[in-house]
Amino acid sequence: MKIREVRTRVVQWRGETAPLPVHFCTNPMDLLALPQSSMKTFAFHGWLIVEVEADDGTVGIGNAALAPLVTKALIDQYLTPLLVGQNPWDIEFLWQHMYRNTMAFGRKGVGMTAISAVDIALWDLLGRPRSSRYSGCWEDGRRRGFRCMRAGCTARASKTWRRKRSATRPMDTRR
């Protein structure tokens, strides 16, 4: 499975919003006598939706609320070229790849928000049901001795690993 496309779109709230309470405080500067309009920028009226599509048509969805237009531009210009054609099961590699390629400007704020939105979409993509019983298992899980936790999956650890494990503690036979 490979990542075919990364799509982003910004959704804006256009309806009425309730004003923030008078005692609402987000940081010590809010204790100063500032005009009430200064807190209007705190409310999130825009939202970014990220869709990561695999070559089998499966789509994972992620989101971000911090500066959605800037986050969209960052994902479209910097992160999408890194992701297209990659294996979505390599989550740690993809996260490190995105982080290291945005390190000059992305250690906090919008950069981390963009990486987080894509990361959420990748995990959602991997959590979607597949047609194959084994497709949801990590490829090297059997070699390392992990048991697949996906319902109906028959992948189990090797006999050697099971023998070593049973020597230290009895296995649960109720499964």
pLDDT per residue over 75-130, tens digit each?
999 999 999 999 999 999 999 999 999 988 878 889 999 999 999 999 999 988 76
Cα angle 105-88-112, degrees, rounded to a multiple of 5: 20
Confidence of residue 66 (pLDDT cuts 50, 70, 90): confident
Amino acid identity, position 73: A
**Residue 111's beta-bridge partner residues?**
none
Specify the pLDDT at position 147. Answer: 56
CA distance 133 to 131: 7
Average pLDDT estimate for 28-45:
61
**Exposure letters 6-45 (e unless 16+ CB within 10 A, then b):** bebeeeeeeeeeeeeeeeeeeeeeeeeeeeeeebeeeeee
Q: Which residue is it, tokens 């049973």?
A: 166
Model pTM?
Answer: 0.66
Helix, coil or strand: residue 78: helix
Which region among 64-68, 92-96, 129-133, 141-145 has the lowest average model confidence (pLDDT)? 141-145
Q: Pick one of 3.30.390.10, 3.40.80.10, 3.40.50.720, 3.30.70.3460 as the CATH number of 3-127.
A: 3.30.390.10
Average pLDDT estimate for 22-46: 63
pLDDT of residue 113: 94
Left if phi > 0, otherwise alpha if psi is -120 to 50, otherwise beta: which for 38? alpha
Q: Give 62's strand partners.
A: 50
Residue 44 pLDDT more than 80? no
pLDDT surpasses 90 at 6: yes
Written as six digits, the tokens of 42 are: 């705190």
Q: Long-range contacts of range 143-146, CB-CB < 8 Å, 24 or more positions apart?
A: none
Tell me the domain boundaries of the chain: 3-127, 137-175
Q: Are 34 and 25 in contact (CB under 8 A)?
A: no
